[in-house]
Amino acid sequence: MTDIKAALRSQRIETPSWAYGNSGTRFKVFAQQGVPRDPYEKLADAAQVHAYTGIAPTVALHIPWDKVDDYADLARHAGEAGVRIGAINSNVFQDDDYKLGSVTHPDARVRRKATDHLLECVDIMDATGSDTLKLWFSDGINYPGQDDIRSRQDRLAESLAEVYDRLGEGQRFLLEYKLFEPAFYATDVPDWGTAYAHCVKLGPKAQVVVDTGHHAPGTNIEFIVAFLLREGKLGGFDFNSRFYADDDLMVGAADPFQLFRIMYEVIRGGGFTDEVAFMLDQCHNIEPKIPGQIRSVMNVQEATAKALLVDRDALSAAQREGDVLGANAVLMDAYNTDVRPLLAELREEQGLAPDPMAAYAKSGYFEKIAAERVGGQQAGWGA
Amino acid sequence: MTDIKAALRSQRIETPSWAYGNSGTRFKVFAQQGVPRDPYEKLADAAQVHAYTGIAPTVALHIPWDKVDDYADLARHAGEAGVRIGAINSNVFQDDDYKLGSVTHPDARVRRKATDHLLECVDIMDATGSDTLKLWFSDGINYPGQDDIRSRQDRLAESLAEVYDRLGEGQRFLLEYKLFEPAFYATDVPDWGTAYAHCVKLGPKAQVVVDTGHHAPGTNIEFIVAFLLREGKLGGFDFNSRFYADDDLMVGAADPFQLFRIMYEVIRGGGFTDEVAFMLDQCHNIEPKIPGQIRSVMNVQEATAKALLVDRDALSAAQREGDVLGANAVLMDAYNTDVRPLLAELREEQGLAPDPMAAYAKSGYFEKIAAERVGGQQAGWGA
Amino acid sequence: MTDIKAALRSQRIETPSWAYGNSGTRFKVFAQQGVPRDPYEKLADAAQVHAYTGIAPTVALHIPWDKVDDYADLARHAGEAGVRIGAINSNVFQDDDYKLGSVTHPDARVRRKATDHLLECVDIMDATGSDTLKLWFSDGINYPGQDDIRSRQDRLAESLAEVYDRLGEGQRFLLEYKLFEPAFYATDVPDWGTAYAHCVKLGPKAQVVVDTGHHAPGTNIEFIVAFLLREGKLGGFDFNSRFYADDDLMVGAADPFQLFRIMYEVIRGGGFTDEVAFMLDQCHNIEPKIPGQIRSVMNVQEATAKALLVDRDALSAAQREGDVLGANAVLMDAYNTDVRPLLAELREEQGLAPDPMAAYAKSGYFEKIAAERVGGQQAGWGA
Amino acid sequence: MTDIKAALRSQRIETPSWAYGNSGTRFKVFAQQGVPRDPYEKLADAAQVHAYTGIAPTVALHIPWDKVDDYADLARHAGEAGVRIGAINSNVFQDDDYKLGSVTHPDARVRRKATDHLLECVDIMDATGSDTLKLWFSDGINYPGQDDIRSRQDRLAESLAEVYDRLGEGQRFLLEYKLFEPAFYATDVPDWGTAYAHCVKLGPKAQVVVDTGHHAPGTNIEFIVAFLLREGKLGGFDFNSRFYADDDLMVGAADPFQLFRIMYEVIRGGGFTDEVAFMLDQCHNIEPKIPGQIRSVMNVQEATAKALLVDRDALSAAQREGDVLGANAVLMDAYNTDVRPLLAELREEQGLAPDPMAAYAKSGYFEKIAAERVGGQQAGWGA
């Protein structure tokens, strides 16, 4: 139990700046009270999540949404609030130029513009001390024949190589894959195999990031995790959960058993280290944002605690003997354990409130920002 | 062949006013040139689709997007442009009040507001001469426990009954179902069974509308069509196509063979009449809107022509004999036929250009609206 | 807690006779030791499951697999072993005549044969005292055009009506639906809507049975449960679990949270009574059969206990207030509770061993049947 | 058109010996008349398919189903019948030892046995002159925890390396992937990425084979084809079609447009050569086997003809200009063309009957084998 607590104390979960802004579906973005109006306010909110959970010390930025004049100042501000800048996300999907693609666009001018944006993100990494660039491309096509699938791979490879070469010492990029949306026929990085193949060719600074909502129905995500760890190519996670497509619900909300299985493979594969980034990537469309992030951090923590509880010796023994029900029972025994008392104890040992949700609710922070943040443009996708 | 041509001449496909405005995904709505700025301009564009295809004489309105002060005037304008008002669509998903639902919302005040909106749509039917109200509800919940699934059915039933009672002579409503989006855990009308059960209880003026993009992966849509026709409960279609979820691509673009099978069941089941409304419901996110609609109308027409070509006597004989390959071959023979020459001939007989796409492109209409429609607010979802 | 224990004591889960025989995939049926060779031995094994769990007192028969000369004798034998005969399942898919269907076959002779088999199953109900007939049809077609989808519905309706009329006082049938397999293009009862529509027309003795593995990917099963209960048409469950298609794994093995949500809707909808039959329907292809059934019964029991623990007043309050996270938290609090100590206590109060799996393993029963049941033909699908 | 005909004349499609035997689902294998009773009779039937289509000159063997004492004699017999031995398929899933896996089994003894079987298949390649070994593993686990996902990858890699080293000059193996079935939780080679990663490490003699029925719902297969061709790792196809899972219907029956898109990417990517093997892999459960194979060969041929008809210059031009509808129209124009007259003409130029299905039906071959092949054990899975 001491080991488990030590492991849990070492866990780090990154929250994304955009999660604190408004989000929605194509049908409607519902506005909420107290939503941040600039990157500084987003960092302040993220700091609340860390203050109550103790394990969310970094915040991912999204460029251009989080563009500021002085990134060093932003990083300093983060530090004062008790958090640090984490991964830099490069968004190349909200400019009219990108209607038919960014780095895979048929027009070289658009590709140049998109790649320049990626390079600028590396500049921001330099300025903020971030060591990770996260690359997700909405690139793809909606209709068969619309563009040449293979040529788009050539263009993608060319852009990735240029960005890879620009990475400095201790920097890396994570390539994200997604089955579909916003492209509806062929996406240029649709699955882990595509991301993996590009990363292998590029070298050790290129790794794959697994967004748990980006797979075809039925995909066994923990298999992918185990496989990528075996290959040394798992760079991190974008956590969220889904029942259907890329629903971007709170991680652990749709299938907590799956989250547990993923965390088990992470631990079993030696991925429970700083090498693998645990990031949230969710849309709180109808629930309040800060509590949504706190609950999500707790969900990952609970899944991790359960995964750490697995009696691996007993599991291996049952597996070796071909004891199907016995091996399954060892895993389920850990999953069925209620780890909430353990985590409450752990928090108290660290000087935190045992129930982060209740503590935040009582803090008055929400009432404060709801009162203060009036006027201005609330942050959201595109703002 | 004479019969087939006569049948094709009688076909009517309705286009939706919103398809002429801008649309997109949650990631980005890309603006296009020449997009309408009000319902009048939308009708003008829809009239172009009818002018070149000859089989798209009606236009569906969406309320509140198409709200005008004087609906009689709008209907008159439509007539002058060569089209008529078709179904009235009631949109109850873009008001902040509807964040947790419209007619199924836990709060009676919101339900009242939503139901009043539906009743207002019946008023608009009266004013425009429309005989069909189309009801799609985005209502649902994102998280298990968020609201009570069964109580929401009670509320839905109550609202539907009130609207049903308001319908006049010769009026009906079509209830639409959708698996998911924008709700991501439980949708209140997720499948045809739910829509059907409500409609059966309400009576003959309530029917089910099949949106071809609203099903779970693997669903056999033509089975549903055949079943609903057998029950007298198929009210119409919202046509579009998809590879993944509710992609809203042009109908026939993703799986033309499926569209053919659907049209075959329509014809076989006696649904190729005015009783069943054939409507388009698509998003032209990256392609031009008017040509997108023309192509879609042509795709439905081609599928219909192929379905009419099926040698039903030969098919029945093979089916009766249990000749699996023979029966399949009869169907495939029709599908594999190139019906484009037949349709070109049909158009020429009706005084239309044989190639609607080329004719529209040459007409100069796009250049005209691109030049004229500058300034103002382009129509789109929410506008 | 007293109420919860009382509810749990009243729970009844039925196991199927065929689960004790060999099963497999189309690729291979792996034989196991000690497998029953006749219906009497199957009942003896089922009695073991009841002996250790205390909540599995009935056993479903499958005809023709469980055909015997004297059903009264079989029922008596069951009673001596400590169990009773449950539902009668009519299998009309393993005769060469049924290659193209049973009750929906194009040939009237085959339909007559199939319907006669169903009627014979009602005779067996009379002879055994069973009150439930379970109807699953593998009927469907593999290729578009192979047979007429709508005519098959007519034939289905005709056969169901004949069987319905034959049902005696206090007897009912449950109609099962399944998306696909063994038919691969169109199944004649593919979804709950189809089963529901037929049952509504037939009357109160016809109800729908939900097999948890028979849905399209992404289907919200608990919604269907809630809806059918609201309509008074939920007759029972065939429990199992799956990651992909109709995998027929042990219930609760693939998605225990889903099982909990289903049980919650059962309880909330008033379905936790004798009106709704809780049956297992699984294939223990690689794991031992009796322990597989014990584990499955325990999994349903654990999900039920968690569902009973939901604080429904708190849940309703949060739902009424539109407190998305609060309502979800009430549900998750029950799910995250470890109910195993409670169930162990309950068992001991009933004179059972606290750990049924361990108790069975220690009993020596497996060693006994493995030694005794040599020679003869092991039971399996088709035997 | 001359080029297209030349290309079509060069096409080669391989049929699998097992397709001529009985097959079925887990529910029932329906027997058919005239089914072969040994490998010699299977080859005779395969020769019929070639005789009428002119493009099916090779036959894949499956070991152990096609084990004979003298492979040289079998190859000679094939030659006399007008066909040749194609790929050797290694089946390691029908021995009781393989219940928990073959090359990934936890027990080293079973792994040794399985790998030895693979090596024996290379011996058979030497004896028959076959240059291709096809490896499909049913290996996987049904329950979380049942075995260690990562260790199974280690074992897989070890076995593959041993087989790779045994390959002679001019020999290769193709590694097949499959999402699920018969394993229902985690399959050891579930997707193209896994197969690709192993093949890249092994070297140029290891390539990926794409079975068109082995993907998750929504997977874009032509993307995979384009990607693997770009990497030089596409070894061939196992063609079939499906609506749901691995339905193994006749290729082109479920989604002919998808088959066309796949063939287009093959041609565009330079894969229309002897390097890429075009093999059928289907179950004719309810339709007659030889006609089922003839129809399937014709379906691939028709899709190929359409793909060859694509005006690639026009397509490229439209793609470069970002003309979404124009580019799609170029592709659809080829797809919508009726190529059956062209193929009939091509056959007649080659001295074949224009309609292979009709010619076979008239030949009397079926009546002959139905009369002759009585007694003995019909071939099927496991025989």
What pLDDT, on the 0 to 100 scale, is given for residue D114?
98
What pLDDT, on the 0 to 100 scale, is given for residue D274?
86
What DSSP letter does each residue of D207-258 carry, written as one string? EEEEETT-S-TT--HHHHHHHHHHTT-EEEEEE-B-SSSS--BPTTSS-HHH
Share of chain A above pLDDT 70, in %: 99
Asked whether residue C210 is assigned to any structural domain, the reply reads yes
pLDDT digits (tens, 9 = 90+) for C106-146: 999 999 999 999 999 999 999 999 999 999 999 999 999 99
C92 to chain A, closest Cα gap in Å: 30
**Poorest-pLDDT segment among B28-32, C197-201, C358-362:** B28-32
Say yes or no: C191 contacts chain D, CB-CB below 8 A. Answer: no
**Residue of D96, D100, D223 for testing the chain A interface, max A β-carbons within 10 Å:** D223
Asked whether residue C377 is assigned to any structural domain, the reply reads no
**Residue of A257, A294, A309 for testing the chain C interface, max C β-carbons within 10 Å:** A257
pLDDT digits (tens, 9 = 90+) for A114-147: 999 999 999 999 999 999 999 999 999 999 999 9
A93 HSE (CA, 13 A, CB side):
20
pLDDT digits (tens, 9 = 90+) for C153-173: 999 999 999 999 999 999 999
Say yes or no: A314 contacts chain B, CB-CB below 8 A. Answer: no
Rounded distance, CA B329 to CA D340, Å?
A: 13
Name the residue among C93, C48, C77, C142 with its Cα closest to residue C365. C48
Name the residue among A115, A128, A130 with its Cα closest to residue A164. A115
C326 to chain B, closest Cα gap in Å: 8
- Are residues B26 and A286, on separate chains, in Cβ contact within 8 Å? no
Say yes or no: B184 contacts chain A, CB-CB below 8 A. Answer: yes
pLDDT digits (tens, 9 = 90+) for D186-240: 999 999 999 999 999 999 999 999 999 999 999 999 999 999 999 999 999 999 9
pLDDT band at B2 (very low <50, low <70, confident <90, very high): confident
Say yes or no: B285 contacts chain A, CB-CB below 8 A. Answer: yes
- Are residues A253 and B179, on separate chains, in Cβ contact within 8 Å? no
Q: Which residues pair with A277 in a beta bridge?
A: A236
What pLDDT, on the 0 to 100 scale, is given for residue A382?
53
pLDDT band at B286 (very low <50, low <70, confident <90, very high): very high
Query: C161 with C130: CB under 8 angstroms?
Result: no
What pLDDT, on the 0 to 100 scale, is given for residue B382?
53
- DSSP state, residue B178: -
Of the partner residues B153, B224, B261, the one whose CB lies closest to the CB of residue C227 = B153
Residue D380 has pLDDT above 90, yes or no: no
**Residue of B137, B138, B184, B249 for testing the chain A interface, max A β-carbons within 10 Å:** B184
| Mean pLDDT of the region A225-247 | 98
Query: What tokens were used for A54?
Result: 């103790």
**Residue of B23, B27, B62, B187 for testing the chain A interface, max A β-carbons within 10 Å:** B27
What pLDDT, on the 0 to 100 scale, is given for residue B274?
86
Asked whether residue D359 is assigned to any structural domain, the reply reads yes
pLDDT digits (tens, 9 = 90+) for C335-357: 999 999 999 999 999 999 999 99
What pLDDT, on the 0 to 100 scale, is given for residue D381?
72
Say yes or no: C291 contacts chain A, CB-CB below 8 A. Answer: yes
CB atoms within 10 A of CB B27: 18
Show residues of chain A in contact with B24, CB under 8 Å: 26, 182
Q: What are the residues whose beta carbons fall under 8 Å from the beta carbon of C97, sequence distance 6 or more?
A: C105, C110, C113
- Are residues C338 and A340, on separate chains, in Cβ contact within 8 Å? no
Window A:43-62, CB contacts with C under 8 Å: none
Q: Which residue of A has its CA nearest to C334?
A: A338
- Are residues D142 and C254, on separate chains, in Cβ contact within 8 Å? no
pLDDT band at C274 (very low <50, low <70, confident <90, very high): confident
- Are residues B292 and D325, on separate chains, in Cβ contact within 8 Å? yes
Of the partner residues A98, A99, A184, the one whose CB lies closest to the CB of residue B249 = A184
Residue D383 has pLDDT above 60, yes or no: no
A111 to chain B, closest Cα gap in Å: 18
C54 to chain A, closest Cα gap in Å: 21
| Mean pLDDT of the region D310-326 | 98
A315 to chain B, closest Cα gap in Å: 32
Chains with 3 or more CB pairs under 8 A to chain B: A, C, D
Show residues of chain A in contact with B143, CB under 8 Å: 249-250, 253, 287
Name the residue among B126, B153, B157 with its Cα closest to residue B140. B153
- Are residues C315 and B145, on separate chains, in Cβ contact within 8 Å? yes
What pLDDT, on the 0 to 100 scale, is given for residue A1?
74
- Are residues D148 and A319, on separate chains, in Cβ contact within 8 Å? yes
Q: Taking the C-alpha atoms of C198, C203, C205 and C207 in order, what is their torsion angle to the nearest 10 degrees? A: 40
C376 to chain B, closest Cα gap in Å: 38
**Residue of C311, C324, C333, C335 for testing the chain B interface, max B β-carbons within 10 Å:** C324
Q: Which residues pair with B84 in a beta bridge?
A: B58
pLDDT band at C224 (very low <50, low <70, confident <90, very high): very high
Say yes or no: A341 contacts chain B, CB-CB below 8 A. Answer: no
Asked whether residue A381 is assigned to any structural domain, the reply reads no
Of the partner residues C146, C226, C227, the one whose CB lies closest to the CB of residue B327 = C146
Query: What tokens were used for A41?
Result: 């306010």
Residue with tokens 């068109």: D212
Show residues of chain A in contact with D98, CB under 8 Å: none
Show residues of chain D in contact with A97, CB under 8 Å: none
For residue D206, give its domain range.
2-370
Burial of C371 (0-12, 13-18, 19+ CB in 10 A): exposed
pLDDT digits (tens, 9 = 90+) for D255-293: 999 999 999 999 999 999 989 999 999 999 999 999 999
Asked whether residue C228 is assigned to any structural domain, the reply reads yes
H-type alpha helices, chain C:
2-10, 39-53, 71-81, 108-128, 149-166, 192-202, 221-231, 256-268, 289-309, 312-320, 324-335, 340-349, 356-363, 365-372
- Are residues D148 and A268, on separate chains, in Cβ contact within 8 Å? yes
Q: What sign has the CA pseudo-torsion A114, A118, A120, A124?
A: positive
**Residue of C250, C336, C337, C360 for testing the chain A interface, max A β-carbons within 10 Å:** C336
pLDDT band at D37 (very low <50, low <70, confident <90, very high): very high
Rounded distance, CA C290 to CA C285, Å?
A: 12
Amino acid at D304: T
Asked if the bond preceding D182 is cis, omega within 30° of 0, the reply is: yes
Instruction: Name the more confident of D302 and A273.
Output: D302
pTM: 0.98
Q: Could you give the ipTM of this predicted complex?
A: 0.97
- Are residues C138 and D27, on separate chains, in Cβ contact within 8 Å? yes
What pLDDT, on the 0 to 100 scale, is given for residue D382?
53
Say yes or no: C33 contacts chain A, CB-CB below 8 A. Answer: no
What pLDDT, on the 0 to 100 scale, is given for residue A274?
86
Window B:207-226, CB contacts with A under 8 Å: 217
pLDDT digits (tens, 9 = 90+) for A348-361: 999 999 999 999 99
CATH of the domain at C157: 3.20.20.150
Asked whether residue C107 is assigned to any structural domain, the reply reads yes
pLDDT band at B383 (very low <50, low <70, confident <90, very high): very low
Chains with 3 or more CB pairs under 8 A to chain C: A, B, D
Of the partner residues B138, B144, B286, the one whose CB lies closest to the CB of residue A99 = B286
Say yes or no: B94 contacts chain A, CB-CB below 8 A. Answer: yes
- Are residues B185 and C220, on separate chains, in Cβ contact within 8 Å? yes
Show residues of chain A in contact with D178, CB under 8 Å: none
Show residues of chain A in contact with B181, CB under 8 Å: 25, 27, 244-245
3-state SS, A278-333, equals: EEECCCCCCCCHHHHHHHHHHHHHHHHHHHHHCCHHHHHHHHHCCCHHHHHHHHHH
| Average model confidence (pLDDT) across chain B | 97
What pLDDT, on the 0 to 100 scale, is given for residue A383?
44
pLDDT digits (tens, 9 = 90+) for C294-345: 999 999 999 999 999 999 999 999 999 999 999 999 999 999 999 999 999 9
Q: Indicate the number of domains in chain B.
A: 1
Instruction: Name the more confident of B264 and C383.
Output: B264
Say yes or no: A106 contacts chain B, CB-CB below 8 A. Answer: no
Asked whether residue B84 is assigned to any structural domain, the reply reads yes
Q: Which residue of B has its CA nearest to D217?
A: B217
Show residues of chain C in contact with B145, CB under 8 Å: 315, 318-319, 327-332
Asked whether residue B146 is assigned to any structural domain, the reply reads yes
What pLDDT, on the 0 to 100 scale, is given for residue A99?
97
